[in-house]
């Protein structure tokens, strides 16, 4: 348990990806089986189903810690697991600490009524760091800034240089969902001591074929007859694997997200396919904005209300395997025909096929692209008719052509320090647009004096898009124009205009302005533009209305 606790603790303060990778692969190399396998499970899919942790902790603390001191401490620390770890009474003579595998077995085998007691015995054997790690482990995903993909990437690095074949993260992803903790056979394979584990009959993830953003030089050799066009839908890319009554929905990185979308799982239950598509929220055939889909992502429990208010839908665009026949070697044109034929014969409910967008000439294509204004469309996809399905991001086959970003001129309101390499810079920016003050008496927004009768309302936050040189300039501006400081955040004089680019804008009751942006980034710094000439909330709302009108057309 101690090496794992040290790993988790060190990861929380290691900002760089490289540093995290080094720590992880060092651990995976050094830790014995089955401990490292359980650690891997904890960092990827989670180790335990939901345990009654809160109740167990309450039971445990009752007899050991004074309730008033606990409450004062909890208020100060701000995190229950950490508070308990810190004020757990230190035994005078601590028994030797358990191994991670012992911890996992003990908790997994404890009947619900004995979870608290088991946890108590384990806590008595651990030091502060170990207790913290244990409680994080039991509480679900330990948030230490490591994605499942990063953990798998580190795993690929433990393969010795002497092994016959190098292993990439996609090789691991492909068999991942057929494996189970503690992943002993996976480690043996990675260390070159055993063959690659067999996926057996279970539905598994096949790494996706990804598109490149189209660039100027790609257009030079572009021939309209060589390419099919489809709309680029603003949902999330999924792969649906259905086989032998089991259905899995995988995200583009191979995370299993089946649990959040039970209706899609049951739609595919009687099928035997591996299909690519876009996961969307659609109401009566009309695709909703990405924000609607976001309400459904990362939900462990899906309520009936959610299913009704935010119904999921899959828009299919490729067929990889059907009834055991692997189509990946076929051309896109042939796969497309097979997809259409299969769907019209057996199409599961809650699915449709992404229509092809017909075009004859480059000029027609340009016009289609320029007119795409619906919130649910991000642009166009161009796919070479002759391309087989190739995992990864091969050049020259698939292109994405995102429509031009929307922009607004916003005023910088708050700046926050970044982390890691950027910790000495103010690199996260909150910006706003002007709103007319209806009732000047009750005005609460900052600085009506710059633009009389108007106040700024925040419309978004961005921390990318600027060059390193621009970052230094904005940092200097922030320091020289601070009006107030709250911890790592500074409020600045409303003077600097930032041209902000974003992919979409939609209504959001959670934000003060009533609007939220998708993927906002700093497009340009308008040192030349007076703040009073920045955009208004009305202009921002007009962009939302344009998207809605386009949808209605």
Partner 1 sequence: MRAAGVDQWLYPTPRGLYCAPAGVYIDPARPVERAIVTHGHSDHARPGNGAVLATAETIEIMKVRLGTEAAGRFEPAAYGATTNLDGVAVRLVPAGHVLGSAQVVLEWNGQRAVVSGDYKRSPDPTCAPFEVVPCDVFVTEATFALPVFRHEHAASEIARLLASMRRNPDRAHLVGAYGLGKCQRVIRLVREAGYDAPIYLHGAHLAITELYAKLGVDLGDCRAVPDDKSADLAGALVIGPPSAIADRWSRRFPDPVTAFASGWMRIKGRVRQSGVELPLVISDHADWPELISTILETSAEDVWVTHGREDALVYELTRRGLKARALALVGFDEEGE
Nearest distance from C-beta of residue 464 to partner 1, angstroms: 19
Where does this chain touch partner 1 (CB under 8 A) — which range of 107-115, 189-197, 358-366, 417-425?
Answer: 417-425
Which one of the spans 75-83, 298-306, 309-317, 371-379 is the region binding partner 1 (CB under 8 A)? 75-83
Between 12 and 361, CB nearer to partner 1: 12
312 in Cβ contact with 260 (< 8 Å): no
Specify the residue, 138 or 543, whose C-beta has the smaller distance to partner 1: 138
Nearest to 79 by CA among 62, 101, 54, 113: 54
Least distance to partner 1, CB of residue 203, Å: 39
Applying CB under 8 A, which of residues 266, 361, 419, 549 lies at the interface with partner 1? 419
In 3D, which of 385, 388, 384 has the Cα closest to residue 397?
A: 384
CA dist 19 and 36 (Å) reads 19
Helix residue ranges per DSSP H, 158-297: 169-176, 184-190, 216-220, 262-267, 290-294
For 278-304, give one letter per residue: b (16+ CB within 10 A) or e.
Answer: bbbbbeeeebbbbbbbeebeeeeebee
Applying CB under 8 A, among 2, 3, 64, 73 the residue interacting with partner 1 is 73
Neighbours of 547 (CB within 10 A): 19
Stretch that binds partner 1, among 32-40, 42-50, 70-78, 243-251 (CB under 8 A): 70-78
Signed CA dihedral, 180, 186, 188, 191: sign only: negative
Query: Considering the complex, what minimum distance in angstroms separates the CB of residue 119 from partner 1?
Result: 19
3-state DSSP call for residue 492? Answer: strand
Candidate residues 2, 45, 79, 272; the one interacting with partner 1 per rule CB under 8 A: 79
Contacts with partner 1 by CB under 8 A: the residue count is 27
Q: Which of these ranges, 9-17, 200-208, 210-218, 220-228, lies near partner 1 under the rule CB under 8 A?
A: 9-17
Interaction of residue 69 with partner 1, rule CB under 8 A: yes
Dihedral pair phi/psi, residue 230, rounded to 5°: -135, 160
For residues 90 and 438, which CB has a smaller minimum distance to partner 1 in the complex? Answer: 90
Residue 337 Cβ vs partner 1, minimum distance, rounded to whole Å: 54
- Asked if 66 interacts with partner 1 (CB under 8 A), we say yes
Site for partner 1 (CB under 8 A): which residue of 41, 43, 87, 115? 87
Of 438 and 468, which has the nearer Cβ to partner 1?
468
Between 68 and 164, name the residue whose CB sits nearer to partner 1. 68
Beta carbon of residue 29, minimum distance to partner 1 (angstroms, whole number)? 15
Distance CA 520, CA 459 (A): 10
Question: Which residue, 132 or 359, is less far from partner 1 as judged by CB?
Answer: 132
- Determine which one of 136, 152, 232, 383 is catalytic: 232
- For partner 1, the closer of residues 79 and 218 by Cβ is 79
| DSSP code at position 356 | B
Instruction: Using CB under 8 A, pick the residue from 1, 4, 11, 14 that binds partner 1.
Output: 14
**Smallest separation, CB 55 to partner 1 (Å):** 22
Instruction: Using the rule CB under 8 A, give the single segment among 76-84, 254-262, 372-380, 515-523 that binds partner 1.
Output: 76-84
Which one of 68, 164, 220, 442 is in contact with partner 1 (CB under 8 A)? 68
Asked whether the CA dihedral 163, 168, 169, 174 is positive or negative, the reply is: negative
Selected binder of partner 1 within 266, 386, 423, 467 (CB under 8 A): 423
The distance of closest approach from Cβ of residue 278 to partner 1 in the complex, given in angstroms and rounded to an integer, is 36
Asked if 90 is part of the footprint of partner 1 (rule: CB under 8 A), the reply reads yes
**Strand residue runs (E) in 284-405:** 286-287, 312-322, 325-326, 351-353, 377-384, 398-402
| Binding flag, residue 417, partner 1 (CB under 8 A) | yes
Query: Quick check: 61 binds partner 1 (CB under 8 A)?
Result: no
Coil, strand or helix at 43: helix
Give the Cα separation of 541 and 457 in Å (integer).
13
Give the sign of the dihedral formed by CA 324, CA 325, CA 331, CA 334: negative
Nearest distance from residue 65's CB to partner 1, in Å?
8
Please give the DSSP secondary-structure letter assigned to residue 163.
S
CA 177 – CA 199 distance, rounded (Å):
8
65 binds partner 1 (CB under 8 A): yes
> Which residue in the set 32, 62, 72, 484 belongs to the binding site for partner 1 (CB under 8 A)?
72
Q: Which of residues 487-516 bind partner 1 (CB under 8 A)?
A: 487-488
* Least distance to partner 1, CB of residue 154, Å: 17
Q: Give the per-residue SS3 of 290-323.
A: HHHHHCCCCCCCCCHHHHHHCCEEEEEEEEEEEC
d(CA 454, CA 440): 9
Closest CA to 450 of 406, 489, 497, 416: 497
The answer to whether the CB of 70 falls within 8 A of the CB of 61 is yes
| Min dist. Cβ of residue 26 to partner 1 (A) | 10
- Per CB under 8 A, 467 contacts partner 1: no
Q: For residue 82, state whether it binds partner 1 (rule: CB under 8 A).
A: yes
- Nearest CA among 5, 40, 25, 20 for reference residue 191: 25
- 232 is annotated as an active-site residue: yes
Q: Long-range contacts for 191-194 (Cβ within 8 Å, ≥24 apart)?
A: 191/158, 191/159, 191/160, 191/163, 192/159, 192/160, 192/162, 192/163, 192/164
212 is an interface residue for partner 1 by CB under 8 A: no
H/E element holding 427? strand 426-436
Q: Which is nearer to partner 1, 90 or 215 (CB)?
A: 90
Q: How far is the CB of 497 from partner 1 (least distance, A)?
A: 25
Answer yes or no whether residue 80 interacts with partner 1 by CB under 8 A. no
The dihedral built from the CA positions of residue 434, 435, 436 and 442, taken in this order, carries a sign that is negative
**Which residues does the annotation mark as catalytic?**
232
Q: Which residues bind partner 1 (CB under 8 A)?
A: 12-15, 65-66, 68-69, 72-73, 76-79, 82-83, 86-87, 90, 128, 417, 419, 421, 423-424, 487-488
């Amino acid at each position: 348990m101690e090496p794992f606790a040290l790993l988790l603790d060190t990861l929380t303060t290691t900002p760089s990806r490289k540093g995290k990778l080094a720590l992880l692969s060092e651990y995976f190399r050094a830790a014995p089986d089955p401990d490292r396998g359980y650690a891997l499970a904890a960092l990827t899919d989670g180790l335990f189903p939901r345990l009654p942790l809160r109740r167990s902790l309450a039971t445990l603390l009752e007899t050991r810690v004074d309730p008033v001191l606990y409450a004062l401490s909890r208020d100060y620390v701000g995190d229950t697991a950490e508070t308990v770890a810190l004020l757990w009474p230190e035994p005078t003579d601590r028994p030797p600490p358990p191994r991670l595998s012992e911890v996992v077995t003990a908790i997994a085998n404890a009947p619900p009524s004995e979870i608290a007691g088991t946890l108590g015995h384990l806590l008595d054997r651990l030091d502060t760091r170990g207790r913290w790690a244990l409680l994080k482990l039991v509480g679900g995903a330990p948030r230490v800034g490591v994605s499942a993909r990063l953990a798998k990437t580190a795993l690929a690095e433990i393969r010795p240089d002497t092994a016959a074949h190098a292993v990439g993260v996609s090789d691991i992803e492909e068999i991942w969902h057929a494996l189970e903790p503690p992943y002993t056979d996976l480690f043996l394979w990675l260390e070159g001591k055993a063959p690659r584990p067999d996926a057996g009959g279970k539905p598994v993830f096949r790494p996706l074929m990804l598109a490149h953003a189209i660039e100027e030089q790609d257009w030079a050799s572009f021939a309209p007859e060589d390419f099919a066009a489809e709309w680029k839908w603003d949902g999330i890319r999924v792969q649906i694997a259905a086989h032998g009554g089991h259905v899995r929905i995988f995200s583009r990185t191979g995370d299993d997200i089946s649990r959040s979308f039970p209706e899609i799982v049951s739609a595919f239950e009687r099928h035997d396919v591996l299909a690519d598509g876009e996961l969307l929220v659609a109401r009566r055939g009309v695709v909703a904005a990405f924000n609607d889909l976001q309400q459904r992502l990362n939900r462990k429990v899906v309520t009936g209300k959610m299913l009704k208010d935010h119904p999921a839908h899959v828009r299919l665009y490729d067929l990889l395997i059907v009834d055991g026949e692997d189509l990946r070697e076929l051309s896109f044109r042939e796969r497309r025909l097979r997809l259409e034929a299969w769907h019209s014969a057996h199409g599961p409910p809650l699915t449709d096929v992404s229509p092809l967008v017909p075009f004859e000439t480059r000029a027609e294509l340009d016009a289609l692209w320029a007119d795409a204004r619906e919130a649910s469309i991000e642009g166009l996809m161009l796919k070479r008719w002759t391309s087989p399905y190739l995992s990864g991001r091969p050049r020259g086959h698939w292109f994405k052509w995102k429509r031009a970003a929307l922009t607004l001129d916003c005023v910088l309101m708050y700046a926050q320090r970044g982390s890691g390499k950027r910790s000495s810079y103010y690199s996260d920016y909150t910006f706003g647009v002007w709103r007319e003050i209806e009732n000047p008496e009750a005005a609460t927004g900052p600085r009506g004096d710059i633009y009389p009768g108007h106040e700024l309302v925040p419309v978004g936050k961005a921390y990318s898009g600027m060059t390193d040189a621009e970052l230094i300039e904005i940092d200097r501006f922030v320091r020289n124009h601070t009006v107030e400081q709250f911890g790592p955040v500074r409020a600045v004089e409303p003077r600097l205009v930032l041209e902000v680019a974003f992919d979409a804008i939609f209504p959001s009751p959670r934000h003060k302005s009533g609007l939220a942006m998708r993927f906002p980034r700093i497009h340009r710094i308008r040192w030349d533009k007076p703040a009073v000439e920045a955009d208004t909330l009305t202009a921002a709302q007009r962009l939302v209305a344009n998207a809605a009108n386009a949808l209605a057309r």
